[in-house]
Structure 1
Amino acid sequence: MRNWIAALALVAALAFPAHAQVITGSATAADGDSLVVAGQKVRLFGIDAPELAQTCQRDGETWACGQAAKEQLSALIAGAQVHCRRLSTDSYGRAVSICKAGSEDLNRVLVENGWATAYREYSLDYVDAELRAKRYGLGIWSSTFQMPADFRHAGQPRDRAATARASTSRPSRVSGCVIKGNRNRRGQWIYHLPGMPYYEATRPEEIFCSEAEAQAAGYRRAIVRP
């Protein structure tokens, strides 16, 4: 009997490796995109919320959008058992995870309601949710704000910040999502397809998987002159 139980335990360990473990328990919000669940630090995968010290501007007024994002996450997990599927571990030792409170996908809900952006450097899973929030002016999209990654890099030495920006400017080729959206000097929202004259030189502000998606977000196709 003991050998049979040990065999089952071994099979389970092989089927569910450590990097895919589930963390379950009560949780508190550390900021808008990270938690402490059952005593373990967790970073929500694929999203990026304003930093705690970050502010946004709306109707000429400054407001604490970073603190507001944390409060939104706190409200979502209040009194709930949180279940996080760990995907990896980041450089701070946090479990990078997709988390749920009840049936709610916390990662997606935060982006859908405009309290976090899709972290395109690591995933395109939440781009569609971000586009909807942006379209309807939800959360931080009702404001003028600096992307959280740019806010963090602002205090870095120039060469480190440039390297970080360059890493986020490369379009992901996951599922063919390679259309670059960019705001030109005239303030127009333009998208570029691979092979167009300025495609390689364009630093994308958004990445799209189809022209229809880019157009729905308010972008128009770049004009290629003969």
Structure 2
Amino acid sequence: MHFTRSFIIAAAILGASIPTGSQAQSLQGTAQVADGDSLSIAGLQVRLFGIDAPELDQQCFDNGAAVACGEMAKAKLASLIGDASLSCLRKSTDAHGRMVAVCRISGVDIGQAMVEAGWATAYRQYSEDYVAAEQRARASKSGLWQWEFQKPEQYRIAQQSKEEPQREARPPASTSSSLRRWQDQGQCLIKGNHSRRGEWIYHLPGMPYYNATRPEAWFCTEEEAQAAGYRRAIVR
């Protein structure tokens, strides 16, 4: 009887020490895809680290015609994974209790593959690991980059505030002064710069620090800069 009680106590202690759910450091198995950047393995929810895909109900626009790009991003992730077994390494836990992880199939980073194919953006707020992959996808107009679309994070904010999302990737023609082209003799004049804090900021001619700014990129319109992930410099 004493042996049985001791065995039960030891088993209980051992069981309590085994991480479960989002506390687990790694996870392996076949996956069920929820959308372009989230899935579940053995009932545990996983958010792919460092990427942001359109929400499932989000639409992109092809010359004004709606495109179900949220559903298409989900389909792309599902096709990449198929029936293969994923190996996921936990990076953190998000506000929804999901494991945030880098997931691979035979060593291939699925998150990077999604960004490289243009069906997700680099989630710069949390990582710059996939920025180069995003730039390649954007340059080749792959996936989402062939259309106008709202960056997923901005789309979520707009949905929460019940505002109409503003499309940024390829703004429609307008007479608004915001569409002014900053260009001289064929040279774009807006400077895009990466700050020491990791912020992507653009400077217009005449702004403070414009002349002292060393650009990583040049743009002809503010909309082009915003679509590339830059925000306007704050003038105080």
Question: One fold, TM greater than 0.5?
Answer: yes
1:143 match: 147
1:190 match: 191
**Secondary structure, in 3 states, of the residue corresponding to 1:155?**
helix
Residue 213 to residue 201, structure 1, CA distance change in 2 (3 Å): closer
Q: Deviations over 1:48-90 (max 9, x none)?
A: 0000000001133211000000000000111100110011111
Preserved CA contact (<8 Å) 1:76 1:101: no
The alignment's C-alpha RMSD in Å is 3.3
Residue 103 to residue 143, structure 1, CA distance change in 2 (3 Å): same
TM-score by length of 2: 0.63
TM-score by length of 1: 0.66
Q: Distance in 2 between matches of 1:23 and 1:187?
A: 50
Does 2:53 correspond to 1:49?
Answer: yes
Question: Whose radius of gyration is greater, 1 or 2?
Answer: 2
Preserved CA contact (<8 Å) 1:23 1:38: no
One-letter amino acid of the structure 2 residue matched with residue 153 of structure 1: I
Structure 1 segments unaligned to the other structure (5+ residues): 1-9, 162-183, 203-210, 220-226
Equivalent pairs: percent with the same residue?
A: 45
Does 2:133 correspond to 1:132?
Answer: no
Q: How many residues align?
A: 170
Structure 2 segments unaligned to the other structure (5+ residues): 1-13, 164-177, 183-189, 204-213, 226-236
Q: Distance in 2 between matches of 1:193 and 1:116?
A: 21
**Secondary structure, in 3 states, of the residue corresponding to 1:87?**
strand
**Secondary structure, in 3 states, of the residue corresponding to 1:134?**
helix
Does 2:55 correspond to 1:62?
Answer: no
Residue 201 to residue 129, structure 1, CA distance change in 2 (3 Å): closer
Residue 139 to residue 103, structure 1, CA distance change in 2 (3 Å): same
One-letter amino acid of the structure 1 residue matched with residue 217 of structure 2: A
Q: Distance in 2 between matches of 1:99 and 1:115?
A: 16
Alignment of 1:1-226 (within 5 A): 21-157=25-161, 185-188=179-182, 190-192=191-193, 214=217
Higher percent of residues as helix? 1
Q: Distance in 1 between matches of 2:159 and 2:96?
A: 19
| CA-CA distance at 1:191 after TM superposition | 1.3
